[in-house]
């Protein structure tokens, strides 16, 4: 199933045989390019960037690397190969053939799921659009741009579904995806975390580690969908998403490495002293982690949600690794623990699992995140630095669901407003922290050179050397 | 005599746990479920993995592209791999390869492959190559048994055919592989010279069959890419060797620029100058096996300045037309327009298109860096004219191990 690159919109969905759809998408395309020019990476239109372009959905189709000007990137529509005779494997329709078209009764829910997912894609590009001006190296700049163009492609993936399956409503939603703006007071992006700023590279790496991982779990749940085109689209997106998490995980690991080197060299763990050497002290990294982690786990939605139950029972959105779960995949009568506050303490109570599926997905995300934090801690161990990062309690700093507004310390104790106020500066990044990190952000564009606050990666992209000219500025 | 399998050396695919981000892409991609994981690590099951390489390109980190030479009976188990915090070092194996390729070899290989546009596996039917058997610390010693000039007397370029005999030392090579030569002495800074790589010009059974020898095609380097006069230390060392001289050789290297071996597989070869060495090796292998009729068609595009500077010109013109379709391009032939290999590719567009389309055809490009772009442009035009799309085709070719580039 190779991708037809001779067409205006590269695709493997035989777009040419559906003239109406092709025209509709070709009509949307200039709007997308205008959006990219307005809201894509700042000042980058003429750069030649060493990018990976997916040219087929088979394994070999991933290895296509070359210099591309980002506005010429071949954004297109790629679905994973169809699985023959696929059936819905969870919910009330379990065992029935997967839908190749939108079932009327689930139309508005499906549209909502797709729009919500689609909205995050351009949002993150908008959030990251100034970062290129302070890239710590050409290698990192290239990785940022790769993330950005792939988010753009993910938008295409969702817009295709809207145009192809939702008629006029879908076309209007597709237009609206280009109209909303991250952080805009009047027309913001749909989800909170996507209206936050990504002002510096520490934030960017935390974002790609945590928030793109939310993307991984949402896409994994959608890849189980009974609506086959959505499942096939999201499966393909997952392969791209992995790169984003790599950028985050390795980015933070390299910052930790550099900080540890400086700490060992100068035999100090005093944050002020560490800062005086121009690297980011470990407590500040912990505070950034606390912030991004808590903002991201809010994205999974309310702990108990009737929507979550509906999405599952109607076969629209499964669980993470649905097929690997050993229950009946219908979940009627099953229970799942959620948190609530009783007598000033967080306690678990059992809720119907169907309603608690947001919480279930959040817990899966947490397990995955914690494992990576453990890998970061190895950097400190290796360097002989006695400091361990950890994720805060999942009730910490929550803005959504029954835990919203409850003051919980990172260790999970419910605290008073006074205690919170007294300690918030130890738990979340302060304006001073942000100003300090911002002060380190300067552009480094000489091939092979890296900003002082971050270590070089262990290897380059596509086996190129680390000092390869990953971006040419022309 | 029975073979002692317990000592057989194998190449084991492993994942670097320090770089891996546990994204599950490899496990998802593997067509035969050789990748698995626990709560710590993603690992490859030695008993299942066939080394197809499907997982290599989609891996976002590069952690997937790691290999260890192991004694087959002692390959790392899943449990051992699950317990790793980092990759174990390559163990010293008697008679087997050293841990990593020398840095020089890695660097030179990367430079040579740069124009390929990504990594390509070897053709699926290629013989398994032996790699890195002899290291800088333990080089093989070869004896020069012949050294003669291939280019015309009076020609400005001095290209030589050098035959090396390995005596009792096993030095197995396949067509397309290279060996490394370290010129004796030191450079201007007092440092040992770097390794230089030379493609083997003879087929696997040797220049003189079954006598444990191989041949090289070496051009005496007298100027650099910018035309400035320099004396290439390795090429001048080799070109000046006399019969009976002993040479330190490392390698062999190369595990993807290899020829297919299945019946009906054809070769499209494009080369300039000494880039003809691997093409000669492949052609010669096929020629020696002509009677078995195991191969498909052979097509060669060969560029040089003048016929007199084209190594192996005479023997090539004597090969039967129905065995190999040879197309010469001369860029400095007096009284004739300059012709480059890409011009000949265009002139033969219909046949080239047929080769590009044929899944049994494998493409090899070897020679000076300068030829690369021209050849790719010509391929693009051939594609445009024959209902294909080069941008889409090239990665497909790569993925299938059908497109191999080595330029310098």
Average the pLDDT over A25-34 and give the result: 95
Among A66, A80, A61, smallest CA distance to B400 is for: A61
Using one digit for the tens of pLDDT, what is the confidence trace for B24-62? 999 989 999 999 999 899 999 999 998 787 898 889 998
Is residue B106 in a domain? no
> Is some CB atom of chain B closer than 8 A to the CB atom of A60?
yes
Check whether residue B175 and residue B320 sit in a common domain.
Answer: no
Q: Output the domain CATH number for residue B52.
A: 3.30.70.20
Chain A residues with CB-CB distance to B103 below 8 A: none
Cβ-Cβ pairs closer than 8 A, A with B, add up to 100
Cβ-defined contact of A463 to B119 (cutoff 8 Å): yes
A6 vs B352 pLDDT, higher one:
B352
What is the length of chain B?
408
H/E stretch holding A380 reads helix A357-382
Q: Output the domain CATH number for residue B353.
A: 3.40.50.80
Is residue A6 in a domain? no
| Residue B6 confidence (pLDDT) | 46
> Is some CB atom of chain A closer than 8 A to the CB atom of B374?
no
Q: Considering only alpha carbons, which residue of chain A is nearest residue B29?
A: A59
Give the separation between CA B267 and CA B263, rounded to whole angstroms.
Answer: 12
- Do B274 and B280 form a contact (C-beta atoms < 8 A)? no
Q: Output the domain CATH number for residue B216.
A: 2.40.30.10
* Domain count for chain B: 3
B-proximal residues of A, 339-358, CB under 8 Å: none
Chain A residues with CB-CB distance to B396 below 8 A: 2, 55-56, 60-61
Cβ-defined contact of B60 to A243 (cutoff 8 Å): yes
Check whether residue B278 and residue B245 sit in a common domain.
Answer: no
Out of B20, B134, B157, B199, the active site residue is: B199
Q: Output the domain CATH number for residue A148.
A: 1.10.620.20
Out of B42, B76, B198, B312, the active site residue is: B198
> Is some CB atom of chain B closer than 8 A to the CB atom of A86?
no
Is residue A295 in a domain? yes
Is residue A28 in a domain? yes
Could you identify the residue written with the tokens 């991250």?
A: A182
B384 pLDDT above the threshold of 80:
yes
Decide: pTM greater than 0.90: no
For residue A183, what is the DSSP state? T
Give the separation between CA A380 and CA A389, rounded to whole angstroms.
Answer: 9
ipTM of predicted assembly, 2 dp: 0.87
Cβ-defined contact of B391 to A5 (cutoff 8 Å): yes
| Residue B293 confidence (pLDDT) | 65
Among A387, A173, A417, A376, smallest CA distance to A293 is for: A376
Could you identify the residue written with the tokens 């890695």?
A: B106
| Confidence class for position B92, pLDDT limits 50, 70, 90 | low
- Do A429 and A288 form a contact (C-beta atoms < 8 A)? yes
Is residue A1 in a domain? no
Check whether residue B291 and residue B247 sit in a common domain.
Answer: no
* Domain count for chain A: 1
Residue B5 has a CB neighbour count (10 Å cut-off) of: 8
> Is some CB atom of chain B closer than 8 A to the CB atom of A238?
yes
Average the pLDDT over A39-58 and give the result: 90
Please confirm, yes or no, whether B406 is among the known catalytic residues.
Answer: yes
Using one digit for the tens of pLDDT, what is the confidence trace for A119-163? 999 999 999 999 999 999 999 999 999 999 999 999 999 999 999
Q: Considering only alpha carbons, which residue of chain A is nearest residue B119?
A: A63
Is residue B160 in a domain? yes
Tokens at B336, concatenated? 């004739």
Is residue A8 in a domain? no
Is residue B107 in a domain? no
Check whether residue B243 and residue B267 sit in a common domain.
Answer: no
Optimal mutation site among B26, B54, B61, B121, interface A, most CBs of chain A within 10 A: B61
Give the separation between CA B246 and CA A310, rounded to whole angstroms.
Answer: 79
Cβ-defined contact of B29 to A371 (cutoff 8 Å): no
Among A262, A214, A212, A218, smallest CA distance to A241 is for: A212
Using one digit for the tens of pLDDT, what is the confidence trace for B262-274? 888 999 999 998 8
User: Which domain, by its residues, includes B163?
Assistant: 140-253
Please confirm, yes or no, whether B312 is among the known catalytic residues.
Answer: no
Candidates A6, A250, A371; nearest CB to B22 = A371
Candidates A3, A63, A465; nearest CB to B118 = A63
Optimal mutation site among B17, B22, B58, B117, interface A, most CBs of chain A within 10 A: B58
Residue A436 has a CB neighbour count (10 Å cut-off) of: 17
Q: What share of chain B is helix, strand, coil (3-state, %, to 5)?
A: 25, 25, 50
């Amino acid at each position: 199933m190779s991708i037809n690159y001779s067409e205006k919109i590269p695709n493997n969905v035989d777009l040419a045989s559906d003239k109406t759809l092709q025209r509709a998408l070709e009509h949307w395309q200039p709007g997308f390019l205008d959006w990219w020019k307005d809201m894509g990476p700042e000042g980058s239109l003429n750069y030649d960037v060493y990018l990976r372009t997916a040219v087929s959905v088979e394994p070999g189709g991933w290895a296509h690397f070359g210099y591309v000007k980002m506005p010429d990137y071949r954004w297109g529509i790629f679905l994973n190969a169809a699985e023959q005779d696929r059936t819905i494997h969870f919910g009330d329709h379990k065992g029935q053939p997967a839908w190749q078209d939108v079932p009327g009764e689930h139309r508005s829910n499906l549209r909502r799921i797709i729009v919500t997912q689609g909205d995050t894609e351009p949002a993150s590009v908008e959030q990251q659009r100034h970062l290129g001006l302070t890239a710590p190296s050409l290698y990192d700049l290239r990785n940022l741009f790769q993330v950005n163009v792939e988010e753009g492609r993910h938008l295409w993936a969702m817009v295709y579904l809207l145009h192809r399956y939702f008629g006029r409503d879908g076309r209007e939603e597709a237009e609206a995806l280009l109209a909303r703006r991250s952080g805009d007071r009047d027309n913001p992006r749909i989800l909170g975390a996507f209206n936050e700023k990504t002002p510096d590279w520490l934030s960017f790496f935390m974002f790609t580690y945590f928030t793109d991982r939310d993307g991984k779990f949402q896409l994994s749940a959608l890849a189980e969908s009974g609506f086959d085109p959505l499942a096939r689209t999201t499966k393909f997106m997952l392969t791209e998403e992995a790169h984003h998490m790599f950028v985050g995980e390795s980015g933070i690991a390299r910052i930790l490495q550099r900080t540890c080197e400086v700490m060992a060299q100068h035999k100090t763990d005093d944050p002020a002293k560490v800062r005086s050497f121009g690297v980011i002290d470990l407590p500040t990294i912990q505070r950034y982690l606390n912030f991004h982690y808590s903002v991201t786990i809010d994205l999974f939605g309310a702990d108990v949600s009737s929507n979550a139950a509906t999405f599952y029972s109607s076969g629209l959105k499964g669980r993470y690794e649905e097929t690997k779960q050993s229950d009946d995949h219908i979940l009627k009568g099953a229970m799942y623990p959620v948190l609530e506050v009783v007598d000033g303490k967080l306690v678990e109570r059992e809720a119907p699992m169907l309603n608690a599926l947001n919480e279930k997905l959040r817990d899966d995300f947490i397990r995955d995140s914690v494992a990576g934090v453990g890998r970061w801690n190895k950097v400190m161990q290796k360097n002989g630095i006695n400091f361990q990062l950890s994720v805060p309690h999942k009730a910490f700093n929550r803005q959504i669901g029954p835990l919203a507004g409850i003051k919980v310390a990172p260790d999970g104790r419910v605290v008073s407003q006074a205690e919170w106020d007294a300690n918030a500066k130890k738990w979340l990044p302060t304006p001073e922290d942000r100003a300090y990190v911002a002060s380190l952000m300067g552009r480094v564009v000489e091939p092979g050179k890296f900003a002082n606050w971050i270590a070089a990666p262990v290897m380059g992209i596509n086996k190129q050397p680390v000092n390869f000219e990953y971006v040419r500025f022309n | 005599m029975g073979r002692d399998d317990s000592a057989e050396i194998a190449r084991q695919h492993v994942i670097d746990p320090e770089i891996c981000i546990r994204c599950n892409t490899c496990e998802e991609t593997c067509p035969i479920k050789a990748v698995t994981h626990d709560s710590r690590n993603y690992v490859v099951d030695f008993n299942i993995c066939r080394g197809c390489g499907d997982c290599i390109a989609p891996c976002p980190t590069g952690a997937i592209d790691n290999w260890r030479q192991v004694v087959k009976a002692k390959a790392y188990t899943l449990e051992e791999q699950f317990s790793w915090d980092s990759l174990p070092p390559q163990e010293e194996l008697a008679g087997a390869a050293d841990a990593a390729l020398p840095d020089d070899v890695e660097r030179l290989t990367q430079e040579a492959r740069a124009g390929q546009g990504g990594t390509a596996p070897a053709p699926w039917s290629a013989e398994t190559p032996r790699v890195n058997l002899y290291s800088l610390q333990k080089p093989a010693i070869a004896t020069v048994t012949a050294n003669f000039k291939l280019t015309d007397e009076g020609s400005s370029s001095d290209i030589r055919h050098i035959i090396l005999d390995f005596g009792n030392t096993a030095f197995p090579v396949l067509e397309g592989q290279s060996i490394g030569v370290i010129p004796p002495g030191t450079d201007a800074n007092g440092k040992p010279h770097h390794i230089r790589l030379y493609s083997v010009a003879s087929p696997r059974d040797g220049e003189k069959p079954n006598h444990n020898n191989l041949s090289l095609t070496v051009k005496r380097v007298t100027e650099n890419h910018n035309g400035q006069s320099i004396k290439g230390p390795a090429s001048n060392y080799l070109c000046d060797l006399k019969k009976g001289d002993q040479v330190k050789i490392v390698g062999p290297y190369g595990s993807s620029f290899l020829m297919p071996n299945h019946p009906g597989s054809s070769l499209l070869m494009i080369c300039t100058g000494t880039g003809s060495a691997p093409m000669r090796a492949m052609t010669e292998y096929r020629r020696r096996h002509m009677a078995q009729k195991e191969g498909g068609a052979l097509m060669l595009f060969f560029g040089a300045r003048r016929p007199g500077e084209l190594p192996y010109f005479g023997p090539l013109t004597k090969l039967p037309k129905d065995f190999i379709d040879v197309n010469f391009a001369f860029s400095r032939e007096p009284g004739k327009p300059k012709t480059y290999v890409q011009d000949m590719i265009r002139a033969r567009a219909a046949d080239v298109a047929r080769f590009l389309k044929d899944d049994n055809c494998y493409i090899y490009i070897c020679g000076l860096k300068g030829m690369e772009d021209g050849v790719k442009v010509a391929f693009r035009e051939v594609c445009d004219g024959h209902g294909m799309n080069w941008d889409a085709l090239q990665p497909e070719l790569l993925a299938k191990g059908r497109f191999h580039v080595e330029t310098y």
